[in-house]
Amino acid sequence: MKQLSFAALLLALVAVTTSGVIAKNRQAQAPKEPDLCAVPPGAQPLLPAKRLPGMGVTKDFPATTTSEDARTFFLQGVSQIHSFWFVESERSCLQALEFDPKMAMADWCIALSAAGDYRPAFQLLRDSSNVGSRGAVASGEAAATGAESGDATVRRTANGAAIDPQVRAREAIAKAMDLRGGVTPRERLYIEAQAARRAPGPKSAADAAYIAGLRKLAAAYPDDLEAKAMLGLALDDGFDSVTKEPRTHTMEAIGLLEEVVKKDDAHFGAHHYLIHAYEGSKTPERAWHANARYAGLVTNIPHALHMPGHIYAQSDRIQAAISAFSGAAAVEQRWIDSDSLYPTGHHGHNVHFLIHALNLGGRYDESMKWVQQLFTFKENPRERAGSNQRGVWRQGYFATGRSASRRQIPASSIARRRRSARCRRICPPSRREKSRLRLRRRSSRRRSRRAAAIGRRATSCIARRRIARRR
């Protein structure tokens, strides 16, 4: 009887174990449920926007609207885009649309900011691999084409906004084009120039059409300093990295921007673009005035405090560069602390440059402290959900090479240790890999012992010879 009850108990245990294994296998085979709480990278910024100090004051920008609140947030968005603060610019213009849904220029501003490609020509128009350029997001172009044809495959957030920034830019300018009948001829030219840039087709043709549209606008309204500043940015093709000679249209761009600041020295956008225009040239010191004016006019946007450091570093004013990058880091840290979704890539870039400037100034211990800060920096939920090749801790690896080489520390060994520790946390080694590591360590220890023994023998031989000589 006892044997029967024991057998029944054993069968019950086997059945429970088997059912548990089957359930685990089913869970493993089932498709992984998406994390609905993860914030998709590139998604539209959340509202509400706030009126922020230290953005710079944009005035005399054309905008037809029935709401003064909408105008206020639109002008704030334009100020923010003059400093390449794309997420906040899009947020401000979305807030403007909350007050006036038919404000065409607010949609124009969203098209300008959402795509993230409102930058100098030498950064984007010639380099399709650059993150943020239209050419870098082939999937975005495909998605946009699908959106135009009514394809439901475009991924959207709960409020209906496209997740892909390129699609949002196209949809925003399409809406502005639909509303352009109710705006002034001057606003219409702004909208049509941006629509030309978002048109499907070859990137080079779209860029050329965009510049042609801005030329038409600047010619029709020669007193419009905003149009000339934007045209100067679009034409700025930089300098050759070896000869430092200006590329095509670079000097034309500088001429336009200097004309703008000569007429209005408070035009912070033109000062910003001049800093970029002189970067990498033989005469970076010609942007010193723009450095002082830009950082003084825009005091609360990290990029505005960061950019003067580029020019100072290239002009051998290292202490001024350190001050610029340090000030930008302090301001950006406050924004990061106040917003859990604040993009951290610019902070990594700024601190990377700060580390380089500290090294140039011989302050190696300080630079290594900032390297440690980059390594320990946490990505926000939006960045963790995507593939951010320019994340903060990755910038730490770049900076390690600079700091470690200056202090005669092998950068490769530091980076290797960091990378190994990170990899072990994410993906623990298999049993076979562990055995290989053990064998490698044993052979390394054997080689070390052998070398030590050879060294001892050599030392003893030398000692014997010395004793023999004395005799």
The CA–CA distances, whole Å, from 456 to 222, 434, 445, 459 equal: 85, 33, 16, 5
Q: Do 373 and 452 belong to one domain?
A: no
Q: Do 343 and 386 belong to one domain?
A: yes
The pLDDT value given to residue 131: 41
Q: Please choose, from the candidates 180, 170, 178, 237, the residue with its C-alpha nearest in 3D space to the C-alpha of residue 206.
A: 170
Q: Is residue 28 included in any domain, yes or no?
A: no
Q: Is residue 388 included in any domain, yes or no?
A: yes
Q: What is the chain's mean pLDDT, rounded?
A: 81
The pLDDT value given to residue 292: 97
Q: Do 321 and 417 belong to one domain?
A: yes
Q: Do 395 and 353 belong to one domain?
A: yes
Read off the pLDDT of residues 257-278 as tens digits, 9 standing for 90 and up: 999 999 999 999 999 999 999 9
Q: Is residue 232 included in any domain, yes or no?
A: no
| Region label for 42, one of left (φ > 0), alpha (ψ between -120 and 50) or beta (otherwise) | left
Q: What is the Cα–Cα distance from 379 to 39, expressed in whole angstroms?
A: 12
Residue 293, pLDDT > 50, answer yes
Q: What is the Cα–Cα distance from 299 to 318, expressed in whole angstroms?
A: 21
The pLDDT value given to residue 137: 39
Contact between 324 and 332 under an 8 Å Cβ cutoff? The reply is no
Q: Do 364 and 421 belong to one domain?
A: yes
Q: Do 438 and 412 belong to one domain?
A: no
For the ranges 43-52, 151-160, 447-456, which has the lowest average pLDDT?
Answer: 447-456
Residue 51, pLDDT > 60, answer yes
For the ranges 128-137, 201-210, 405-414, which has the lowest average pLDDT?
Answer: 128-137
Q: Is residue 394 included in any domain, yes or no?
A: yes
Percent of the chain scoring above 70 in pLDDT: 69
Q: Do 420 and 323 belong to one domain?
A: yes
The pLDDT value given to residue 446: 72
For the ranges 9-13, 95-99, 207-211, 270-274, which has the lowest average pLDDT?
Answer: 9-13
DSSP per residue over 157-219, as a string?
-TTS-BSSHHHHHHHHHHHHHHHGGGS-HHHHHHHHHHHHHTSSS-HHHHHHHHHHHHHHHHH
Read off the pLDDT of residues 144-194 as tens digits, 9 standing for 90 and up: 444 444 455 888 988 888 989 999 999 999 999 999 999 999 999 999 999
> What amino acid is encoded at 222 in this protein?
P
Per the model's pLDDT, the better-predicted residue between 138 and 214 turns out to be 214
For the ranges 71-80, 294-303, 339-348, 399-408, which has the lowest average pLDDT?
Answer: 399-408
Q: What is the Cα–Cα distance from 249 to 225, expressed in whole angstroms?
A: 19
Where does the pLDDT of residue 457 fall: very low under 50, low under 70, confident under 90, or very high at 90 and above?
low
Read off the pLDDT of residues 305-354 as tens digits, 9 standing for 90 and up: 999 999 999 999 999 999 999 999 999 999 999 998 888 889 999 999 99
SS3 296: helix
Q: What is the Cα–Cα distance from 171 to 155, expressed in whole angstroms?
A: 13
Q: Do 388 and 456 belong to one domain?
A: no
Span 129-147, mean pLDDT?
42
Q: Do 370 and 355 belong to one domain?
A: yes
The CA–CA distances, whole Å, from 404 to 12, 326, 366, 415 equal: 63, 20, 12, 10
Q: Do 323 and 382 belong to one domain?
A: yes
Read off the pLDDT of residues 96-130 as tens digits, 9 standing for 90 and up: 999 999 999 999 999 999 999 999 999 875 544 44
Q: What is the Cα–Cα distance from 371 to 373, expressed in whole angstroms?
A: 5
Q: Is residue 260 included in any domain, yes or no?
A: no
Q: Is residue 347 included in any domain, yes or no?
A: yes
Please give the backbone phi and psi of residue 428, each rounded to the nearest 5 degrees, phi first.
-60, 145
Span 200-215, mean pLDDT?
94
The pLDDT value given to residue 42: 75
Q: Is residue 438 included in any domain, yes or no?
A: yes
Residue 413, pLDDT > 50, answer no
Per the model's pLDDT, the better-predicted residue between 373 and 310 turns out to be 310
DSSP type of residue 114 = H
Q: Do 336 and 395 belong to one domain?
A: yes
The pLDDT value given to residue 157: 85
Q: Is residue 155 included in any domain, yes or no?
A: no
Q: Is the pTM of this model over 0.85?
A: no
Span 443-454, mean pLDDT?
66
The pLDDT value given to residue 237: 94
DSSP type of residue 59 = -
Domain encompassing residue 359: 317-428
CA dihedral for 170, 172, 177, 178, sign (positive or negative): positive
Contact between 82 and 55 under an 8 Å Cβ cutoff? The reply is no
Q: Do 421 and 433 belong to one domain?
A: no
For the ranges 77-91, 161-175, 246-260, 365-379, which has the lowest average pLDDT?
Answer: 365-379
The pLDDT value given to residue 445: 67
Where does the pLDDT of residue 37 fall: very low under 50, low under 70, confident under 90, or very high at 90 and above?
very low
Matching residue, tokens 């946490």? 378
The CA–CA distances, whole Å, from 43 to 72, 128, 159, 160, 315 equal: 24, 22, 11, 11, 39
What is the number of domains present in the chain?
Answer: 2
Read off the pLDDT of residues 430-441 as tens digits, 9 standing for 90 and up: 666 667 667 766
Residue 429, pLDDT > 80, answer no
